[in-house]
Amino acid sequence: MSNNRSFFLILSLFAGVLMSGLSWAQQEQASHPDIYSGYYSQKDNYGEIGETTGLSHYVKFYPENRIVRLHVPFPYSKTVKSDAINKAFNAAEKKTKNAAYIRDKFGVMEKPVIAHLDTFRWVDGQVMYDCSNAAPCKIKFSEDSMIVIKPGIVLEREILYSLIKD
């Protein structure tokens, strides 16, 4: 009889822990902003930053923790329409489910662009992804923008992106 009680006690404890874990995971996911309703364009993409780096940078998030970073050559990026950028993102995301760099026109661009496909993860309410540094990059979101925080040897560097709605 005591074996049955022990079994039911352990079973109820296990079920309680499992349900609280599921509830916490749902709350954690619900607290994240809607990052899938558009793409992000780096601030000053069409000015000094684009001219200096030779590229304009865009970022789009997909379900299943996919991130695609698109690098469009400058000054070509000044003439590319938002719809073409969005189509290039979607075409690139369908090319592979693995991490990759793909140089292509993606059926919509006049010139080849580079798409960097990777994954991200949520940690303490912010996105983290591998950005080829010693430590991962972090992203903080606001309603219409995001800040990418790139670690450095001495200081972190913050890069501002604006949300472009689909």
Query: C-alpha dihedral over 75, 161, 116, 112, to 10 degrees?
Result: -20
Phi/psi at 18 (nearest 5 deg)?
Answer: -60, -45
Delimit the domains of the chain by residue range.
1-31, 38-165
Options 2.40.128, 2.40.230, 2.20.25, 2.60.40; CATH for 38-165 is 2.40.128
pLDDT in tens, the chain (166 residues): 555 565 554 545 454 544 444 333 443 444 567 888 899 999 988 878 888 888 899 999 999 999 999 999 999 999 999 999 999 999 999 999 999 999 999 999 999 999 999 999 999 888 999 887 678 999 999 888 999 999 888 888 999 999 998 7
- Closest by CA to 77, choosing from 106, 102, 111, is 111
Contacts (Cβ under 8 Å, ≥6 apart) of 79: none
